[in-house]
Amino acid sequence: MSDKPTTIKEIAKILKISVSTVSRALNDHSSIGLTTKMRVKKLASELNYEPNQKAIQFLHGKSFIIGVILPELSESFFSTAISGIEDIAYKRNYTVLLAQSHDDAEREKLLVEKMKTQRVDGLLVSVSKTTSTYEHFEIFKRLNIPVVFFDRIPPVKDIHYVASNLETGTYEAVNFLLKKGHRTIGMINGPNTLVASHERKEGYIKAMLSNRLKFDPTLIINSDLTEAGTIEVMDNMLNHRRKPTAIVTFNDYVALFAIRYTRSLNLNGIDFVSYANLPIINYMDYTPIASVEQFPYKQGKKAADILIDLINKPKNESGADQAFFNVVVESVLVINDPK
């Protein structure tokens, strides 16, 4: 039946002491007598007193809220990452304000606006596929609100970010296939505009060269990552004068399309390696024999940690030595259990 929440004032009035005393008593300030403290605390809990967080946030300009903008929660990479973010936030007493851009640059802009008006203490962003300008993040710099990018990072200087280095994982993947005896290895890569595509390619090349093998660029084919696109690429692969005996695919979806397609052609014997996006891959019948793991949970945790560190950093120290956190999580190859 209680209507309005209890305030510190009411407690003060009832106890006939000043608000400041009540405040200090509740916060265990040293200058308050033990008996007064007890009386205050007792009454406070009787009245179900809850400090008005809005007032406190307002008072010292902190919200203990970090904003997170990411493309799609339904992609398991992101839902796992947010899990890590949320866990760290929880531990460090922050809460997470969540928004998804649905890979729409316009919506992303609006979300940034909203985060700004909510005055989050910090922002975590994985940019949308379609985002091509990055000025909307500049506002946060002016407002002195730290921004940390993760996974999908914008190609600009002077930002904090956490991302995985796909080169290492790809290197391992190709190496693994070579060790298995494969000599002709195809790669279904993504659009060249993605940093990630570039890293995959580099890893591939390095693995070939370090094994004293010639790099054949025609064995890396770009795709638009759709099912149709994948089939088209597969046709190219299968008709290649050097038909690959193993294929590295851009992600698990592509792997699934490709595997299904080869099976429909009754082709076995091609080994697939993919990048781990889908946990469900473990439940499937025909899976890639290995996956490059990108540790989304770890990335999320790390990004959140950095952000909160940044938030709590002793103000603008001289401004000069503004260091930027650039954390790279190495990707590694995981051999899948054979079923």
* Chain contacts with DNA (rule: CB under 7 A): 4-5, 7-9, 16-21, 23-24, 26-27, 31-37, 49-52, 55-56, 58-61
Cα–Cα distance measured from residue 295 to residue 91, given in angstroms and rounded to the nearest whole number: 20
Residue 82 binding target from a copy of itself, DNA, none, CB below 5 to 8 Å by type: a copy of itself
Neighbours of 250 (CB within 10 A): 25
Q: Does 339 bind a copy of itself (CB under 8 A)?
A: yes
Task: Tell me the site size for a copy of itself, rule CB under 8 A.
Answer: 56
User: Please, what is the minimum distance in Å from the beta carbon of residue 261 to a copy of itself?
Assistant: 11
34 binds, among a copy of itself, DNA, none (CB under 5 to 8 A by kind): DNA
Lay out the site mask for a copy of itself across 128-167 (x = CB under 8 A, - = otherwise). Answer: -----------x--xxx-----------------------
User: Is residue 118 at the binding interface for a copy of itself, with CB under 8 A as the rule?
Assistant: yes
Q: Number of helices and strands (H, E) in the chain?
A: 12, 12
Out of DNA, a copy of itself, none, what residue 143 binds, judged by CB under 5 to 8 A for its kind, is: a copy of itself
Nearer to DNA, 5 or 155 (CB): 5
Does 54 bind a copy of itself (CB under 8 A)? Our answer is yes
Among 18, 20, 27, 95, binds a copy of itself (CB under 8 A): 95
The residue ranges of DSSP E strands in 74-150, in sequence order, are 95-100, 122-125, 147-150
Mapped onto helix, strand or coil, the DSSP state of residue 290 is strand
How far apart CA 51 and CA 117 sit, in angstroms, is 23
Cα-flanking dihedrals φ and ψ of residue 189, to 5°? -100, 170
Pick what 267 binds: DNA, a copy of itself, none; C-beta below 5 to 8 Å, kind-dependent.
Answer: none
Judge contact between 332 and 182, C-beta under 8 A.
no
Alpha helices (H) in 243-295, listed in sequence order: 252-264
Using rule CB under 8 A, residue 97 touches a copy of itself: yes
- Residues 180 and 92: their CA atoms lie apart, in Å, by 46
Q: Take residue 198 and report the two structure tokens written for it.
A: 């570039």
- From residue 224 to residue 253, what is the string marking binding to a copy of itself with x (rule CB under 8 A)? -----------------------------x
| Cα gap 254→231, rounded to integer Å | 9
Give CA–CA dist 158/172, Å, rounded.
30
Please name which of 17, 6, 76, 110 lies closest in space to residue 280, comparing C-alpha atoms: 76
Count of positions (residues) in the chain: 339
Instruction: Supply the minimum distance, in Å, between the C-beta of residue 19 and DNA.
Output: 5
Residues that bind a copy of itself (CB under 8 A): 2-3, 5, 48, 50-55, 57-58, 61, 63-65, 72-74, 76, 79-80, 82-83, 86, 90, 95-100, 111, 114, 116-119, 139, 142-144, 253, 256-257, 260, 263, 278-280, 283-286, 316, 339
